[in-house]
Amino acid sequence: MSERKFDFDLAVIGGGSGGYAAARTAAAAGLRTVVLEGGKEVGGLCILRGCMPTKALLYAAEVRHLAQYGALWGMKPGDVPFDWGAVMARKDSLIKEFADDRAAQLNDGRFKFIRAQARFVDPHTVALSTGGTLSASHFVLSTGSVVSPPPLPQLAAVGYITSDEALTLRRPPKSLLVLGGGGVAVELAQFFARFDVKVTLLQRSARLLKDLDEDAAAEIEKVFRREGIELFTGTMLTDAWREGANKGVTFMHEGKQKRVAAEEILFALGRAPNTASLALAKAGVTTDKGRILANDRMQTSAPHIYAAGDCTGPFEIVHIAVQQGEIAAHNIAHPDRPRRMDYRLLLHVVFTDPHVAAVGLTEKEARARGVRYTAASYRFADHGKSLAS
């Protein structure tokens, strides 16, 4: 570590999944570590408003769906009424359990945990929102992401909900317009549709889940249409408006102008790095449209500052945030034996029903990069376990 005396060897800014992974790795390697967490709640996106609540709600939707279609397995299903408050309450109690667990981990004394928003005043010092400053020899930035601004000013005027509000609605809307076709959009679309919400989904790209192969996306589109979700792909939003109690959008689709309206709009067109509060210029950290640029050792343009998770990307996947946090902390503790991120076996899952999972390059990416590949498929009808369920 450097000659100058610092309060800590490592300050981790952001106590979400990436930040916690960096802190526990650094503390285990013997670094005097502090985590600075500025959020109102402790837990980070995955636990509080991301992976965990969506998975809890999707499971409730699957249970209802199976009960409704139980005849296939010899049950005598009827109407399956639900108690929305109870569905939400179960999700809330799970989230509380996870968040309490994370808070206990952050407070168990392996490192110092401070509840404050941090902002650089020079490359080795941050000012805390609670007052005072703190210095560290090294930093890991893991401040996560925020919902992207809407592409149309009219949309902001009309109003919409994001995934944050969608996960805490006191009652389901009668109808919902989902803008977006990525993982968050499709998971929430299916969740609401399975609780009797009339869902219409608008996607800019030609296919849902554009990062996956066409055949996987086509399967999800088929299931969605079968479950009554109205899908428009290859669209371009041109306007947003209110009509009585409803909110609506105008868009171009197959060369024609179309209008759709619903009780609520769910804006799920993506997230952006949450770095504006850090004053990164004071620390000499380079960004591109807010995204912290880091090399494969997770080191930024300031050699003593590393980054992990959604604030640096290139993926918004929780186990990638964790791995990046671990690698950043390892490289700070052991500069003599660096580790590098390697995305060749990137794994990600979309938790629709059916799930879609991918490991490594998709066929689409292999084609785009000119990589030679072999494509193979296996008949679903020959897979006994899948047919059974």
Ligand X SMILES: Cc1cc2nc3c(=O)[nH]c(=O)nc-3n(C[C@H](O)[C@H](O)[C@H](O)COP(=O)(O)OP(=O)(O)OC[C@H]3O[C@@H](n4cnc5c(N)ncnc54)[C@H](O)[C@@H]3O)c2cc1C
**Which residues would be at the binding site for ligand X (CB under 6 A)?**
13-19, 36-39, 44-46, 50-51, 54, 117-118, 142-144, 163, 184, 274, 277-278, 309-310, 316-319, 321, 351
Measure the CA–CA gap between 87 and 305, rounded to whole angstroms: 43
The H-assigned helical ranges of 334-372 are 363-369
When the beta carbons of 173 and 183 are compared against ligand X, the nearer one is 183
Strands 175-179 and 145-147, bridge-based pairing: unpaired
Q: How far is CA 314 from CA 48, 148, 288, 298, 341, in A?
A: 22, 15, 12, 11, 11
Taking the complex as a whole, the smallest distance from the CB of residue 59 to ligand X amounts, in Å, to 12
Is 77 in contact with 68 (CB distance < 8 Å)?
yes
When the beta carbons of 49 and 247 are compared against ligand X, the nearer one is 49
Q: Residue 234: which of 243, 247, 221, 224 has the closest Cα? A: 221
Is 22 in contact with 146 (CB distance < 8 Å)?
no
Taking the complex as a whole, the smallest distance from the CB of residue 71 to ligand X amounts, in Å, to 31
Residues 6+ apart with CB under 8 A from 34: 7, 8, 10, 11, 12, 111, 112, 113, 114, 134, 136
When the beta carbons of 221 and 316 are compared against ligand X, the nearer one is 316
Residue 356, both tokens: 């879609």
Secondary structure class of 133 (helix, strand, coil): strand
When the beta carbons of 137 and 142 are compared against ligand X, the nearer one is 142
b (16+ CB within 10 A) / e for 122-158: eebbbbbeeeeebbbbbbbbbbbbbbeebeeebbeeb
Beta bridge partners of 161: 266
When the beta carbons of 251 and 313 are compared against ligand X, the nearer one is 313
When the beta carbons of 158 and 328 are compared against ligand X, the nearer one is 328
Strands 133-141 and 8-13, bridge-based pairing: parallel
Taking the complex as a whole, the smallest distance from the CB of residue 124 to ligand X amounts, in Å, to 16
Residue 335, both tokens: 């500069």
Taking the complex as a whole, the smallest distance from the CB of residue 328 to ligand X amounts, in Å, to 11
When the beta carbons of 108 and 165 are compared against ligand X, the nearer one is 165
Taking the complex as a whole, the smallest distance from the CB of residue 245 to ligand X amounts, in Å, to 26
When the beta carbons of 344 and 379 are compared against ligand X, the nearer one is 344
Q: Residue 202: which of 227, 242, 229 has the closest Cα? A: 229
Taking the complex as a whole, the smallest distance from the CB of residue 372 to ligand X amounts, in Å, to 30
When the beta carbons of 19 and 173 are compared against ligand X, the nearer one is 19
Taking the complex as a whole, the smallest distance from the CB of residue 238 to ligand X amounts, in Å, to 26
Taking the complex as a whole, the smallest distance from the CB of residue 369 to ligand X amounts, in Å, to 24
- Per DSSP, 80 falls in state -
Taking the complex as a whole, the smallest distance from the CB of residue 14 to ligand X amounts, in Å, to 3
Strands (E), 268-346: 271-273, 287-288, 291-292, 305-307
